[in-house]
């Protein structure tokens, strides 16, 4: 069982499953959306995500016509994203997880935007 919340705590969720794979994405969209060096997320089943509190505070922002980034409109924490053409999949923003096991990333995407000073060497990291 995975639990998480946004920074202000209005949005709380549970994920009724395990997180088996995680990915770090350095694309400019993720950098700007997170205000940070990368996004850390996991592709999960939408049906297993339960918003326990604050669902009306979740706002969807469509940066691209088929992709929504969903965040708490009170504090701005990114919670997950999804694509219109993949309605059963969400990509949970793993910095919001407060309880549960998070595996090291399996994959890095858009490493051309990875800053040189950042050294990440998880055990099984393959894509470089
Ligand atoms: Zn919040
Ligand atoms: Zn990205």
- SS3 label, residue 101: coil
Tell me the CA–centroid distance for residue 27 and ligand 2, in Å.
Answer: 4
What is the per-residue pLDDT for 11? 98
CA of 33 to the centre of ligand 2 (A): 9
Per-residue pLDDT of 45-61, as tens digits, reads: 999 999 999 999 999 99
Nearest to 110 by CA among 44, 51, 42, 23: 23
Buried residues in 13-31 as b, exposed as e (16+ CB within 10 A): bbbeeebeebbbbbeebbb
Which residues are CB-neighbours of 26 under 8 A, at least 6 positions away? 37, 38, 108, 109, 110, 111, 112, 113, 114
Please report the pLDDT score of residue 124 as a whole number.
58
Tell me if residue 91 falls in helix, strand or coil.
strand
Tell the burial category of 51 from Cβ atoms under 10 Å away from its Cβ (0-12, 13-18, 19+).
middle
Name all domains of the chain by residue range, CATH numbers in brackets.
2-20+41-104 (2.170.150.70)
58 bridge partner residues: 72
| C-beta separation of 99 from 12 below 8 A | no
Write out residues in the chain with pLDDT < 70, as ranges: 121-128
Q: Give the ligand at the shortest distance from the Cα of 13.
A: 1
């Amino acid at each position: 069982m995975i639990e998480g919340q946004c920074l202000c705590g209005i949005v709380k969720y549970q994920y009724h499953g395990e997180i088996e794979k995680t990915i770090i994405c350095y694309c400019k969209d993720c950098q700007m959306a997170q205000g940070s060096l990368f996004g850390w997320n996991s592709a999960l089943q939408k049906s297993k995500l339960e918003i326990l509190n604050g669902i009306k505070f979740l706002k969807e922002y469509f940066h691209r016509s088929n992709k929504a980034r969903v965040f708490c409109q009170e504090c701005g924490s990114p919670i997950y994203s999804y694509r219109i053409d993949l309605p059963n999949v969400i990509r949970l923003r793993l910095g919001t997880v407060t309880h549960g096991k998070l595996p090291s990333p399996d994959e890095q995407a858009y490493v051309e935007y990875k800053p040189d000073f950042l050294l990440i060497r998880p055990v099984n990291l393959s894509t470089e």
